[in-house]
Amino acid sequence: MLELKPNLRGSLTHQVKATDLATNWRNDVPVLATPILLWLTELACMRAIEGTLSDGQMTVGLSHDTSHLAPTPSGWNIHIGARLEAIENRKLIFSVEGQDGQETILRGKHVRAIVDRERFLAGVEAKAKGPNANKIPTPQNGILTASANNTGAPS
For 35-76, what is each residue's pLDDT tens digit?
Answer: 999 999 999 999 999 999 999 999 999 999 999 999 999 999
Catalytic residue among 68, 72, 97, 110: 68
Catalytic residue among 14, 42, 66, 97: 42
Q: What length is written for the chain?
A: 155
As a whole number of Å, the CA-based R_g of the chain is: 19
For 135-145, what is each residue's pLDDT tens digit?
Answer: 888 777 777 66
Residue type, 131: P
pTM, 2 dp: 0.88
Closest C-alpha to 114, from 146, 84, 81: 84
Cβ-contact 101, 76 below 8 angstroms: yes
Catalytic residue among 34, 52, 64, 79: 34
Q: Over 90: is that where the pLDDT of 114 sits?
A: yes
Q: Is 34 a catalytic residue?
A: yes
98 marked as binding residue: no
Going along the chain, which residue ranges are E strands? 9-15, 57-68, 77-88, 91-99, 104-116
Whole-number Cα distances in Å, 102 to 108, 118, 139, 140, 148: 18, 43, 44, 46, 44
Cβ-contact 16, 73 below 8 angstroms: yes
130 marked as binding residue: no
Q: What is the set of domains in the chain, with CATH numbers?
A: 9-128 (3.10.129.10)
